Structure 1
Amino acid sequence: MPTVTWSRLGADRRAAVVAAAEAEFAAHGFSRGSLNVIARRAGVAKGSLFQYFADKRDLYAHITEVGSQRVRRHMEDQIRRLDPSRPFFEFLTDLLDVWVAYFADHPRDRALHAAASFEVDTDARISVRAVIHRHYLQVLRPLVLDARGRGDLRPDADVDTLLSLLLMILPHLALAPYVRGIDPVLGLDELSPEQPALVVRRYVAVLSAAFAQPDHSPADRATHKGEQS
């Protein structure tokens, strides 16, 4: 948590420290990120950083919080635009498309996401993943619970397992289309423009088969429509 001294800083000075820290951690992660470089780029003494934050890990967690809030604001705007009240797995498909596109268009957020995912320091990784997971769950859990309330999910659907799978899929889709070597199985190592969208639909098809109420899954609706025509 930032200190009281941090809260008393002017907005420009706080913004300079955040920008410098985001650039350094995005480029080098926590373990190799340099406080000397951050201080120099922000135009502050290195000792001042320890007046603003308890230690390097505290600064890293704060930068993760700032970045997570930025991504969350964008995604919540998109959620409202996409209408989360429609059938859950149709909505989820569009939401994951938007998620992939966001990280294509925001390389710094993608780099920060990669730094958090690949961090070798266990304590630092736990700290930042806790921040990211909190934001994920605060957004995803109400969507999943609403879907269950509408009857989009099977009555015996394990909601916690669905959420856990989404917590794995989201970071993967943020990085795999843009970082070679993460997913050679689904064709993301030899990327074509349409490949991320195809991968999204394969993931959603598996989730739908496991969790959707049979007559609420996209495949079943298509079959039912064909039988009626």
Structure 2
Amino acid sequence: MTAEPTRILLADDEPLYRGTVRALLDAEPDLEVVAEAGTGREACALARRSPVDVAVVDVRMPDLDGVAATRHLTALPHAPKVLVLTTFDLDEAVHETLRAGAGGFLLKDVPPTRLVEAVRTIAAGDPLLAPSVTRRLIDTLVRAPRTGPRPLHGVTAREREVLTLVTRGLSNAEIQERLHLSQHTVKTHIGHLMAKLAARDRAQLVIAGYEAGLVDP
């Protein structure tokens, strides 16, 4: 039996760009754009009326920007995974969007195949944060004032080691090599950390590690 295609909501205030992305995604048999929105508020209303699997959200939109829209979307009972689109990879709103629950972000001028891959990655529940992107996120966080270290309740010593390396931008393979662990063990530790720290994805683990003072600015 053929699996149902991933249901996608596009939210961008540029109709031409939305149309281009829709044509690109609808050409894939496993993807289907079922709704379009020109504002963040409209995107949230559409997602409330008809749940979707993935919301592709522009970070800069009128009447509720991408940060606020992401916060609303990820709070819905049937919350979609959120992929944030941005014009600049150092957009100062990006880390706030990730904090709000986005699964990752992507530049709007990426090759078409990369956008398709990104939607599939987000739909599968995997974070869309390459180590280089994670390091840029840390750079942004470092510039923001800390309000005091975040407690890491229930986190074991080994999990703290793993979280420190995640926060520094290391990939799973690099963590595996650094701590002499198996791939399965690294994934297990990261899964436990996500559960204990209420993190939706790797991006939020990076934020949690930074707020806990695991990375020295």
Please report the TM-score for the alignment, with normalisation by the length of structure 1: 0.25
Which structure dedicates a bigger proportion of its chain to helix? Answer: 1
The higher relative CO (CA closer than 8 Å, separation ≥ 6) is in 1
Please report the TM-score for the alignment, with normalisation by the length of structure 2: 0.26
Which structure dedicates a bigger proportion of its chain to strand? Answer: 2
